Amino acid sequence: MAYDQKKKTRKERFLGEMDAVLPWDLLLAPILAHYPKAGGGRRPIGAPVMLRIYFMQQWYGLGDPAMEDSLYDVESMRRFAGVDLGGVPDETTICKFRHLLEAHGLTEALFEQTKRYLSDRGMMVSEGTIVDSGDHP
């Protein structure tokens, strides 16, 4: 009997669906205007990675230290973010990204755009769960 077929968890299914349906390039566009470029200091972690981490924080109600820990603990979260164990951003980096979004008034716009996009597809998100709103034909 083979045991290599792993059951997909709710978290894996949810993150897979969000990866597939969200318009990541559109969501990233306003952030890139304010995101630090590689220069004289340490190379910043890519904005796409940080945006995905930020969304997971919101979906799962995680603070910065808990998000860092979750990235180390949960393979599906690392896969969604696009990082391996050696590339997990620390809680300070996660915090700085959140503050960058807040400083430029991007948080509300990101979530309104995401909510509208999902609603147009008959979906909504409630704490890391996809809910079929039943509003679509």
50 pLDDT higher than 70: yes
What does the mean pLDDT of the chain come to? 86
- The DSSP call for residue 123 is E
131 pLDDT higher than 70: no
pTM of the entire structure?
Answer: 0.84
If one compares 108 and 94, the residue with the highest pLDDT of the two is 94
- Please give the torsion angle defined by the CA atoms of residues 31, 37, 43 and 46, in that order, rounded to the nearest 10 degrees: 30
Predicted local distance difference test score (pLDDT) of residue 38: 67
96 pLDDT higher than 50: yes
Query: b/e for 99-123, b at 16 or more Cβ within 10 A?
Result: ebbeeeebeeebeeebeeebeeeeb
